[in-house]
Each structure stands twice: as structure tokens, then as C-alpha cells.
Amino acid sequence: MNLETIRSGSVAVLMGGTSAERDISLQSGATVLRGLEAAGFSAFKVDPASKGWMAELGRATFAFNALHGPGGEDGSMQGALQLLGIPYSGSGILGSALAMDKVRSKRVWQGAGLPTAGFVLLDADTNWQQVIDQLGVVFVKPACEGSSIGMSKAADARSLEQAYVTASAYAGAVMAEQFVDGPEFTVAMLGHRVLPSIRLETSNEFYDYAAKYESDETRYHCPSGLSAAEEAAIAELARAAFAALDCAVWGRVDLMRDDQGAFQLLEVNTIPGMTSHSLVPMAAQAVGIGIAELVTQIMQYSLAGATVWPAEATHFADGKATVADQGSADACHLGGSQ
């Protein structure tokens, strides 16, 4: 299948769904829909929360997945589309499932020698003071939610327990991640390309849901202010983190920079937002790629199963990259074109 085949058929834009990120997904889907139509594709909306959605999906030549969170971004929708034989956008089953789970993402990165802040899993029997003694100030978050949903900061045992109660309202595990005191960056991936980094600034306590989607005061710096060497280092770290989780086609890697100047990985988003406040369209625009071209390239790379495997193996010490020889890439990669 190629783009001309899709152009002669129709594209289902999956949006909405039943996760806590439903409202953001509807906004992202609307942007994708407009972009596809501007690019000359026939496209229609499919909301998995609506009755009869699978029958609607069945008439699609291609599915552009704009679902955020569990049920859309965690490998389950990717598996359904694969079984139905409908080509779809973005990462495959494995990459989607790993990236959605922040705990397993961090374990993979630790095993690969990639820098990421310390963390522990929490439950109702956790010794709250022991966690604070071990990690200091932490961010508590549901392991399998996005958009900073259910996330809060804790600096003592009492606030940690309260943060756990807030996060445990969502499905899945709850984690406490060591606070990294420094600027936040995000790096977008598109096909084989790493887009320019963006540095985020907010007057909120952290880059929370309101700062991401509601505030007009959040500041986005692109170029991010890094030197050429620093930009190359953050790009290579983001590329390695994305590849380690078997992600493909497009996505976004979020990082912090600590007080020693080293970058620390936070998470990967395999279906990033496409709203008016979203970061991937912003990074794409910085290199001259508008929404219509962006969604077209995402489909094109999805059909090709494009990955961002590093051309050379990269090892990281204190957030700084060194390069060594690399063998062949994993032959078991599951891309969205399958």
C-alpha cells in the first residue's frame, strides 16, 4: 500500500475514546482531520466510545490513531487494527505498550544504560518517610496515564501519601519519581528524523495539565537555547530512548536537565497531542512542516515502518553521549505498517 492507494480510499481518524485524556484526543483528532482534508485525503471521524464504531472503522483504507492514553496508546488498539488488517499510524504493539508504562520504560532505559531519575513503586503499605529519605522531593504519578493526569509533587511523608491517593484513583501502578531541579525539554521524532528540541517554561508548580492545554502563559522556546553540541547530545539521547522502547514513525521524548547539566529521561509519548498548544506540530513548524504535510509524512512513514534506530550504538554517562560500533537492529520490530 502507498499514499495514492490511501488517497483513493478513506482515512479513519480515531479520536475520543474512553480514557481520562478523551477531551485532548478529540482536539487532536480534529486537527488531524483538518490536516488530512487539506492534504487532499478523504477522512472521517471514528470514536471508540460511540456505538457501532467498529463498523465505521471497517470502511477505512487506513487508520490515523489520535487516541491518547489507555485503550488507544497502549498497544490494544494497535493489536485490534493489526488483526483487522487495517494499516495504522505510529508505533506498533510492543513500542506502544512499553512507552505507555512509565515504570517499564524506565526499567528498559536503566538496562540500556540511559539516564533517568530514580523511582519507586508505591502502594497502600508503603513506608512514606522511607521513600522521602531515599529520593527526597518526588513527583507521584499513575504509571499508565499521560498529560500529567493524576500527578502531584510531594516533599514530605504526609504529602506523599496524599499524592498516592490522588494517583491511585487511576488504573495501574503508581510511582514516585525523584524530582529533577532544572529546565524541561521535549524532543519530537518524525520518521528517521529528530526535530529541534523545545524548552518549556511555566509559572505553575510544574508542567501540569493546565500548563499543557489551558494556559496561554506557558512559554515554549524553539530553538531551545542549547549549544550545537548540547542539541546534538539531547537529540541522540532522545533517539536512543525512543529506539530502546521499540517505538517508530513519530512521537515525543520528554526530558529534564539536572543541576549538573545532564539530561534525564522522563517518558515517551507515542501519540503526542496535536492541539493548538501541542509540541510536535510546533517542532515540525520550526523546520517548515505544516499540519497537512505533518500528517501526510506520518502516514508515509507508517506505511514504510520507519524507525529511528541510531546509525551507531550510543552509550551515555552522566547524560553525555559517546559512540561505539553497532550490529544489526532488532529483527523482531513491530511497526505500525504491519
Catalytic residues: 21, 147, 213, 252, 254, 267, 269, 273
CA distance 308 to 249: 8
Burial 254-272 (b: 16+ CB within 10 A, else e): bbbbbeeebbbbbbbbbbb
Element (H, E) at 99: helix 93-100
- The three grid cell numbers given for residue 185, joined into one nine-digit string: 525539554
Element (H, E) at 184: strand 184-190
Task: Classify residue 111 by burial, with Cβ atoms within 10 Å: 0-12, 13-18, 19+.
Answer: exposed
Beta-bridged to residue 268, according to DSSP, are 253
Q: Which amino acid is it at 202?
A: T
